Amino acid sequence: MQRLRQNHLWIYAADVEKEPGGQGSPIVQVIDRARNHLGYALYSKRSQIRLRFLSRGSDPPTPEWIHERVKAAVNRRRTLLDSGSACRLIFGEADLLPSIIADLYGKQIVLQTLSSGAEALKPLLVESLRDLIAPEGIYERNDVKARRLEGLEEICGSLWGLTPPEVEISEDGLRFYVDIPGGQKTGFFLDQRENRIAAGKHAFGRGLDCFTNTGAFALHFSRRCESVLAVDASAPSLVQGMHNAALNRITNVDFKETNVFDFLRELERAGDTFNIICLDPPAFAKNRGALSGARAGYKEINLRAMKILRPEGILVTSSCSYQLSERDFFEIICEASRDARRFVQVVERRGQASDHPILAGMPETHYLKCFILRVM
């Protein structure tokens, strides 16, 4: 009850005293011990997150109600909806549509239904998105481990229309190819869009983009840098990055396949230096048990980066580990600066893009932390 009073949308299995029987609706009424009505929620029989609240209203959600909720989420992004753009249309709990993700890439929509309750709503979601967006295709990227905890199959495939294997999008004048069936997440890291644009404005001299994936930060740096080195351990991602560079006729970015941790140490030993460095690693902490190791990993890469930054250089450093708070991440940065014997100035404190809003009272919706720092 305390969680609900704080506007959190989840109820865990341990807090449920009586569960519905049979194979009923994916949306259930929730009441307390005194039989007071609390609202309606998506019910997941096999998940530790047993209930995900949809509504506090007295009437059960109908298909029309679901459509209006989807419409409200889409309308919040109307300023981002142009034919070449990419944005998140539905951000799960933050849009009061828990465990439902929808991303737009030009004329294509990618949908994720990450709980058994959301899975049951999939036909309604497809219908609503068709009506509201009129896409050329809707594709599901439900190949995520979270579905296993719901007793759901990991699947990918077309839900409606035609989806080509590659879609072109634009971002602040740059063009990118998106691999919808096989790219990271739903095909592209949309949550860093505004951070890439902001960081690109601080780029100069010689740049280094670590964990580059398909080269998005590197290409933004390239417009102001003399040269950029983009590093990642994934060969397929780097091939896509080179593809993106060629699409934009960018010739001052070199791509290198290597382990970033080892490479940063090699650069330090060689005395190699840069004017701007980006650190955008995958989540080091998938759960609380991994938090200690994650802290060490974040400190290591930030320490090494600070040691090879030239005076007045810019460090763009991010963490997408929800388990690591912004406060703790900043403390790690401070520890790294002390060990590197460098002063650090906070130029910008940033987070996930505006189409990934944070729901007050639900810290799980605040996962991406990004700092743009000047290292002196």
| Cα–Cα distance measured from residue 31 to residue 313, given in angstroms and rounded to the nearest whole number | 56
225 included as an active-site residue: no
Where do we find the tokens 């940033």?
Answer: 350
Number of H helices, E strands in the chain: 10, 18
| Cα–Cα distance measured from residue 334 to residue 172, given in angstroms and rounded to the nearest whole number | 32
Q: What are phi and psi of 78, to 5 degrees?
A: -55, -35
51 Cβ contact partners less than 8 Å away, ≥ 6 residues apart: 10, 11, 16, 28, 30, 41, 42, 43, 44
Is residue 326 within 8 A of residue 371, CB to CB? The reply is no
> Which of 87, 278, 320, 370 is the catalytic position?
320
What is the 3 state secondary structure string of 177-204? EECCCCCCCCCCCHHHHHHHHHHHCCCC
Is residue 214 within 8 A of residue 196, CB to CB? The reply is no
Q: What amino acid positions are annotated as catalytic residues?
A: 320
